[in-house]
Amino acid sequence: MSNSPEPVSVIILEKKYQFACEPDQRKDLVEAARHLDECMTEIKDTGRLMSLERIALQAALNFSAELMKLRAAEDYRQEKIDSKIRILADQIDDALKS
């Protein structure tokens, strides 16, 4: 079995698109396309007349904002973990010195 890119068809806003994709990434691509379709359909269904380009840009902005929030949350989580590790390491050092 080859690991060369294969064509994968997805449907976004009732239009079929084809992308080349590594076989082991196929599931992720299909899931991402499904998520994008849901997001774009929701934007389209708000009732405002928007071009496909504007719908895609709004979806991209929504995803970008979500990614930024996730990164900030991850940075905060990592800082808390690093702080806890430093505290525990200090406590271990203190215990070993005693």
Tell me if 85 is assigned to some domain: yes
Q: What is the pLDDT of residue 90?
A: 94
Q: Would you say residue 1 lies in a domain?
A: no
Residue-wise pLDDT tens digits, 14-58: 999 999 999 999 999 999 999 999 999 999 999 776 799 999 999
- The total of structural domains in the chain comes to 1
CB 13 within 8 A of CB 38: no
- If we measure between CA atoms, which residue out of 40, 32, 41, 35 comes closest to residue 57? 40
What is the structure's pLDDT at 47?
75
Residues 6+ away with beta carbon under 8 Å from 11? 17, 33, 37
Structural domain boundaries, residue 36: 6-97
What is this structure's pTM? 0.73
Please report whether residue 32 resides in a domain. yes
* Rounded Cα gap, residues 78 and 20, in angstroms: 35
pLDDT tens per residue, range 63-79: 999 999 999 999 999 99
Domain with residue 22: its CATH number is 3.30.160.880
Give yes or no for residue 1 having a pLDDT over 60. Answer: no
